[in-house]
Structures are given as C-alpha cells and as structure tokens.
Structure 1
Amino acid sequence: MDMERVLKGSPWTFNNHLLLLHKLQSTEDPLLVPLIYTPFWVQIHDIPAGFFSERLATQLGNFIGTFMEYDGSNLGKEN
C-alpha cells in the first residue's frame, strides 16, 4: 500500500535530489530499466490575458521537455 502511494505520488525528492522509482515486473531486468525521466506539472505565470491557450501550453511544454497534458480549468480566474 505504501509503495503504491509513493509510485503514484511522484515526483519525490531525497536531500533535494530527484528520486525516480519503478516497480519491477517479475521478468524485468533491473539493469535495463531506463530511469531517465519523470513527468512534472509546470505552472506558467504572467502570460497576458487572452494569450494563453492549449496550443501555447503545448509549445511551452515541448520547449522544456515533452508535453503530456493540459489543464485549462483555471483559465479566466485570478490564478
């Protein structure tokens, strides 16, 4: 139960270092697991009103990594 909470609640840090975890399957070779990336939510501030869109979010996400998902639920609010 604790392991699932940790795996689903990533990213995690230890001593200010990113900690990447992967639950091994029974046939998986641990030396072949690529622990090289993790998803992050990124919040962008100070975009002028009317300019922020899913297209802009996609472009910004792809600029810093690989865009995965967009949440426009706070558009039009003070956030």
Structure 2
Amino acid sequence: MIFDLSDGRFLYRLFHKVDADRIKVEGPWNFNLHLLILRRLHDGDDPNTIPLNTVDLWVLV
C-alpha cells in the first residue's frame, strides 16, 4: 500500500518481511537519477517527522 504524505514524501506499507529484505538487498534505489531515501518505521513513529536527509552506510556499499 502506498500513502501520499505530501511534500514529496510517500509511505509504503509492506506486508511481508521478504519484501523489505528484497528492497534492502537490491538497493540503492533511485528515480530519475535521484536517490530514494528509505527508512523502516517502528511502532509509535510518526512518518511525517522522520528525517530523510541522511543515508545509512549499508545503502552506499
């Protein structure tokens, strides 16, 4: 499921761990030569307040 959070932010809800693992292994991801910054949310996280201006090292390896 995909939710538009506005301001160029989208929330993707995955229902299976296998899908999340595939995204992590097959990354980094981009669109029109722009790096897509992905974060896993945890219980209680507000997707509108998660900073998306840094990239974890595993993405760059």
Partners of 1:8 and 1:29 in 2: CA distance? 25
Distance 1:22 1:10 in 2: 13
Paired residues, what number? 41
Deviation at 1:13, TM superposition (A): 0.8
Q: Specify the code of the residue in structure 2 equivalent to 1:36.
A: N
Shift of 1:8: 4.2
The letter of the residue matching 1:24 is L
State yes or no: 1:24 paired with 2:27.
no
Task: Indicate the percent of aligned positions where both proteins have the same amino acid.
Answer: 37
- Higher strand proportion: 2
What CA distance in whole angstroms lies between the structure 2 residues aligned with 1:12 and 1:37?
14
> Whole-Å Cα distance in 1 between the matches of residues 22 and 45 of structure 2?
22
Runs of at least 5 residues in structure 1 that lack an aligned partner in the other structure:
42-79
Q: Give TM-score scaled by structure 1 length.
A: 0.42
Answering whether residue 31 of structure 2 is matched by residue 2 of structure 1, we say no
Q: TM-score, normalised by structure 2?
A: 0.51
Higher relative contact order (CA 8 A, sep 6+): 2
Deviations 1:24-72 (A, max 9, x none): 112101122111111324xxxxxxxxxxxxxxxxxxxxxxxxxxxxxxx
CA shift for structure 1 position 20: 0.8
Give the structure with higher Rg (CA).
1
Aligned CA RMSD, in angstroms, stands at: 1.8
Relative distance call for 1:30 and 1:37 in structure 2 (3 A) is same
